[in-house]
Amino acid sequence: MPFSVEIGGDWAGIESDLRMAFADARDRFEGTAFATGNGSTAPTGIITALTGVSGSITTSATTDTFALADVYSLSEGIGPRYRRNASWMANLSILNKIRQFATANNYHGFLTDLVGDTPRQMLGRPVYECSDMDGTYGSGENYVLLYGDFKNYVIVDRVGMSVELVPHLFHTDNNRPSGQRGLLAWWRVGADSVNDPAFQMLNVT
């Protein structure tokens, strides 16, 4: 992040403010990367890791339709050794869709704790919101709900982000100082599924 020597002198807190901006950007980047990262320019997201893994994909019972029966199929798709530590992950719009599965004779379709924006449990297991998962479905591949033991999705992180001051930046055309300083932020992180059978992902297609 470049900044002029003038603003560096006039704004005493510029470095601390930029460090907060870097930290927020890192958190948002990692939130997306751990869901849908491509594995080359970003860590491998859990959705990316499971895409194409036939044993970890549950297809909706009805074409282009997400129904309560699909939730139960997903919960039955992993072994007992993984179910005891399993949790759910979905876009909030999908979680709200699940809330509406309940009818007068189908109360089991409710999620627990309906007062908040994200329910705490479904079928007795924790629920987490992931805004980077598909929130709509129709034609094509739509990975709308994930269930599994996330201990089998490993994030390797060299703890901490380094932010270093570059005291002088140089013009690229004449190699002379440009009257700018810079802050360089970097960190090291990687992630991937290490045991795909611990997960089931619903594809509404």
Task: Give the tens place of pLDDT for each residue, 163-198.
Answer: 999 999 999 999 999 999 999 999 999 999 999 999
pLDDT of residue 159: 80
**How is residue 126 annotated by DSSP?**
E
Distance from C-alpha of 182 to C-alpha of 198, rounded to nearest angstrom: 44
d(CA 132, CA 91) in angstroms, rounded, equals 7
Please tell me the pTM assigned to this model: 0.88
Residues 111-169 have pLDDT tens digits of 665 556 667 888 889 999 999 999 999 888 999 999 999 999 999 998 889 999 999 99
H or E, element range at 35: helix 14-36
Beta carbons of 23 and 15 less than 8 angstroms apart:
no
pLDDT tens digit sequence for 42-81 = 999 999 999 999 999 999 999 999 999 999 999 999 999 9
Tens of pLDDT, residue by residue over 31-45, are: 999 999 999 999 999
How does strand 125-129 pair with strand 87-90?
A: parallel
